[in-house]
Every structure is written in structure tokens, then in C-alpha cells.
Amino acid sequence: MSIIEVRNISKRFGQTQAVDDLSFEVQPGEIFGLLGPNGAGKTTSIRMILDIFKPDSGEISVLNGGMTEEKKNHIGYLPEERGLYQDISLERCLSFLAVLKGMDEATVSERLQEYLELFDLAEARDKKVKELSKGMQQKAQLIATLIHDPELVIIDEPFTSLDPVNTEMVKDMLVMKRNEGKAIIMSTHQMNQVEALCDRILLIDHGRSVLYGTLQEIQNSFSAREIMVTPLSDLPQTINGVKEILKLNGRYRLILTEDAKPNVILKTLINLGVELNEFEIALPPLNEIFIKVVKKQEGGARG
């Protein structure tokens, strides 16, 4: 059973087609990357899922049906437009946002204590929100998103303003939530984080789906037929089926000919008596795939 099912939704603002016939699903227990260049329609899609906007056409099912007040209690949302009540203490701000998620006050104060300690904010609890640094506010915002233990978490750029320690902590927390069976939609431009965390991704551009599937499948399909090898000795000058050999810091990048197969190359190397420390089919970085796809779209749009 899917947590989210989006079928053929479209949304137009005046002259702009923000979302165009978009469909996807999000399963429990996965981190789903919602990617796309600026203005691609990510935020609009998220807002439609959350019932802030209504789609012009198409259907959205969240937690098995249309959005209800009760369901809002099981959704955690970290919007792109960050916002907390600035003029009150951190503790009051987070408690208020938590009770609005249907939690009772006793549970809120108990869990808030845990989260404040986890995020190293316990000492700042009585400070006014506006007195906190950007990073601290970001952590506070994450607490507001996660404190009610939502079934569905939608987070937009969760790692901005976080230092490496906190970034790791948030990543661990997201993985933990996934392992608990929660569904997480993450929208970000940090492709390394997508590679590290996401199980499946959807890349949209101009409101349309351009890539959709597991990270693995997508990277394989964009594989540029490259192999990374780390031999104990030097490599021979030429290898059958290899177009080009590039040396990088003791590693070699082998660019294959059109019809060569990686396992044949491996066999060839072994037959040549090369001792290998590492043999890896190089997947193209997501970053490259992203740029390639988006540029192609733009080219297509121009053509």
C-alpha cells in the first residue's frame, strides 16, 4: 500500500504551467527524492499533496485517501519557506506547533525534552527564537517536523545551514525513520545527499516527470560504460575493449568501447596477470545525470 499516490495532476498559475500531468507513488519505508531545477514545480507538487493547493486536474491520495484533518496529525512538513514564531521562547514555539499536531501537552513536554537534547538545543529553550542562529533555527524547525512521529515526512532542503555533525545526525535520524517504516519525501539540490539517502527518485522539469525510478536503475541506465580499477602494479598500455585509460591518484578510469562488457574486461585483466585491489563499475554521479537531463530538456524546449 502506498503512502502517497499521485495520478496525472496538473496545476496552472496564470500563464505558467507549474505542474503538468505528473504521476508517482511513495511507499512506506523509503526515502523518496523529489528533484528538479529551480521552478520545476517541486514546491507546487508538495503543496498539492498537502492540500494547500488543489490540483486543476488529477487525483492525489495521501495515507489512503483524500486529505483530512486527522491525517494532518500524521504528516510532518519542513517547508522551503522556513518559519517559526520569532517573538516567543523556543520551547513555547515548538510546544505550540506540536499541540497543533494533535499531541497532548504531557507528551509534548516529554518528547520535546528528548528532541532538544538530541539536537543540542536544551540550553536555548528559554531564548526567543529570533535570538537563535540560523543553524539552531534550522534544527528547531526539524524538531517541529518530526516531534509528532509522523507517518509521512516531507522535507525541503533539510541540510541547509547545518554543520557536518548535525548533517550526519539528521541523516541518521531520517534513515532510522525509514527503517521504522515511515515514508520520507526529500527535496534537495544536494545530489550527494540524495545518493547517500534516497531509495527512489523523481526528477521533474517544467512540471513534467523526466526521470522516475530507483536510484540504482537510473544510474545504471546512465552508466557511461566506465570502470574504476586499483591495481597493485601498473596497467598495460592497451587493453582489449578499452577505449581510453585515465590515471587518477593511483586509480585508473577505464572508458570502454561500445560493445565491451565489464565482466569480459575483468577476465582480460586477470588473464593479463594484473593483480587487482579494486574493480568497480563506475556509476555516473547523480549530479551529472541531473545536469545532462535538464540540459537536454532545455535543448528540447528550444528545439
Partner 1 sequence: MAKIWHIIKYEYSRHVFQKRFLFSLLSLPMAVIAMVGVVLLMGVFSMDSTPVGYIDHSGILADPLRLETSGDIFDPLIEFRAYQDEDLARTDLEAGEIQAYYILPEDYVESLSVELFYLEEPGSGVQSQFRSFVRRNLMEAENIDPQLEKRLSEGSLVTVEALDGSRTMREDQWFLIFTPFIAGILYIIVVMTSGGYLMQAVVEEKENRTMEIVITSVTPGQLMTGKIIGNIAIGLTQLVIWLLFGWLGLVVGGYFWPVLQDFSLPANYILILIVLLLPSFVMISALMAAIGATMTEMREAQQISGMFSISTTIPFYVSSMIMMNPNGTLATVLSFFPLTSPITILMRMGFAVVPTWQIALNIVLLVIFAVLAIWFAGRAFRMGMLQYGKKLSLKEIFRKNVQP
**By C-alpha distance, which of 14, 81, 70 is closest to 47?**
81
Q: Which residue among 16, 64, 86, 277 contacts partner 1 (CB under 8 A)? A: 86
Residue 155 bridge partners (DSSP): 78, 186
149 near partner 1 (CB under 8 A): no
Size of the site for partner 1 (CB under 8 A): 26
Q: Are 74 and 152 in contact (CB under 8 A)?
A: yes
Q: From the CB of 28, what's the least distance to partner 1, in Å? A: 20
Q: From the CB of 97, what's the least distance to partner 1, in Å? A: 6
Nearer of residues 129 and 283 to partner 1, judged by Cβ = 129
The three cell numbers locating residue 211: 526521470
212 near partner 1 (CB under 8 A): no
Q: From the CB of 201, what's the least distance to partner 1, in Å? A: 23
Under DSSP, is residue 227 helix (H, G, I), strand (E, B) or coil? strand
Nearer of residues 77 and 290 to partner 1, judged by Cβ = 77
24 near partner 1 (CB under 8 A): no
Quick one: residue 229, left, alpha or beta (phi over 0 = left, psi -120 to 50 = alpha)?
beta
Judged by CB under 8 A, the stretch of 93-101, 169-177, 270-278, 290-298 that binds partner 1 is 93-101
Judged by CB under 8 A, the stretch of 82-90, 185-193, 240-248, 258-266 that binds partner 1 is 82-90
Q: From the CB of 85, what's the least distance to partner 1, in Å? A: 6
Residue with cell 592497451: 238
- Residues 47-76 contacting partner 1, CB under 8 A: 47, 50, 52-54, 69, 72-73, 75
Q: Are 262 and 274 in contact (CB under 8 A)?
A: no
H-type alpha helices, the chain: 42-49, 69-72, 90-99, 105-118, 134-146, 164-179, 191-197, 215-221, 262-271, 286-302
Beta-carbon contacts of 229 under 8 Å, excluding residues fewer than 6 positions away, are 235, 251, 252, 254, 269, 276, 278, 279, 280
Nearer of residues 33 and 55 to partner 1, judged by Cβ = 55
Q: Which residue among 35, 136, 144, 186 contacts partner 1 (CB under 8 A)? A: 144
Contacting positions for partner 1 (CB under 8 A): 47, 50, 52-54, 69, 72-73, 75, 77, 79, 81-88, 96-97, 99-102, 144
